């Protein structure tokens, strides 16, 4: 169990590494994880009992890396274990990456280069951007930044505070599987059910911390009202509070 001062120190170090270095250059570790997840999906997403198979595939993808991480921080000497905690948080965080994706869009919009802004926005959102105007592109970029702020920053830090580097790692992997499998399509509706629901559970508390932080730095009273009135309109139980409060703030 990490002490509070140590958690703060290690978290600060992880945030600093993410800020200075960003995501690993070259082959990102998530690429290998994504390939493993794709193989699991190809093997299990067939036949009957797809919800159960989806849960099994999720467990085979997420639990082994997390257990290995727990074993490492348990058996390594103190300073080596601290380095592993920091490295895992660096892996889980995406603040620098989020900035590096959003800032060029803002620059292109400021220069009224809609073609470039459309191309850049299409890389971070799933919606169609080919004919989007300046207002639609701005809205898409801001919404992506607000919602991903929960996944890429607050969620990782929350689970790091709860369970150290292994907790942050598990959150990032679960969030990745939700992005891969958590769709309401014929292919993933049942198989991806576990990935979507588990991500909702893991993100529930961090999303409310994120929403509260957005409200504190804006019009807090309006943000509270929008949370009550607008959040239930969103399909996601976690995107609703974040987006409603952020828009008001």
What would the pLDDT profile of 72-94 be if each residue is shown by its tens digit? 999 999 999 999 999 999 999 98
Percentage of the chain modeled with pLDDT above 90: 55
Q: Domain tally for the chain?
A: 1
Greater pLDDT, 106 or 230 = 106
First to last CA, the chain: 37
On the question of pLDDT at 226 being above 80, the answer is no
pLDDT above 80 (res 50): yes
State mean pLDDT over 144-173.
Answer: 92
Of 177, 1, 175, 17, the residue nearest 89 (C-alpha): 17
Average pLDDT over residues 179-205: 95
Q: Tens digit of pLDDT for each residue in 108-143?
A: 889 988 889 899 888 887 777 888 888 888 888 887
- Residue 143 CA, chain-centre distance (Å), reads 14
**What b-and-e string marks burial along 141-153, b requiring 16 or more CB atoms within 10 Å of the CB?**
bbbbbbbbbbbbb
Domain that holds residue 101: 4-248
pLDDT of 219 higher than 80: no
Mean pLDDT, to the nearest integer, of 37-64? 97
Task: Please determine, for residue 243, whether its predicted confidence score (pLDDT) is greater than 80.
Answer: no
* Mean pLDDT, the chain, integer: 87
CA dihedral 27, 122, 54, 91 (to 10 degrees): 40
Rounded to whole angstroms, the Cα distance separating 62 from 162 reads: 17
Which pLDDT score is estimated for 156? 96
How far out from the chain centre does Cα 157 lie?
A: 11
Say if residue 144's pLDDT is above 90.
Answer: no
């Amino acid at each position: 169990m990490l002490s509070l001062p140590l958690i703060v120190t290690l978290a600060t170090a992880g945030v600093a590494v993410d800020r200075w270095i960003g995501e690993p250059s070259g082959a990102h570790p998530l690429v290998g994880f994504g390939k493993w997840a794709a193989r699991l999906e190809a093997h299990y997403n067939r036949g009957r009992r797809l919800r159960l198979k989806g849960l099994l595939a999720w467990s085979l993808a997420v639990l082994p890396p997390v257990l290995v991480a727990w074993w490492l921080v348990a058996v390594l000497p103190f300073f080596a274990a601290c380095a592993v905690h920091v490295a895992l948080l660096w892996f889980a965080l995406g603040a620098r990456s989020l900035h590096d994706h959003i800032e060029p869009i803002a620059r292109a919009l400021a220069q009224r280069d809609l073609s470039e802004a459309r191309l850049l926005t299409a890389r971070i959102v799933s919606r169609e951007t080919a004919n989007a105007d300046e207002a639609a592109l701005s809205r898409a970029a801001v919404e992506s930044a607000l919602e991903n702020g929960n996944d890429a920053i607050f969620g990782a830090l929350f689970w790091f505070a709860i369970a150290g580097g292994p907790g942050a790692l598990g959150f990032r992997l679960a969030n990745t599987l939700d992005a891969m499998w958590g769709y309401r399509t014929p292919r993933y509706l049942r198989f991806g059910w576990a990935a979507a629901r588990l991500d909702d559970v893991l993100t529930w508390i961090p999303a409310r911390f994120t929403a509260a932080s957005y409200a504190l730095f804006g019009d807090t009273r309006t943000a509270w009202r929008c949370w009550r009135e607008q959040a239930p309109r969103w399909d996601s139980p976690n995107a609703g509070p974040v987006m409603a409060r952020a828009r008001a703030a």
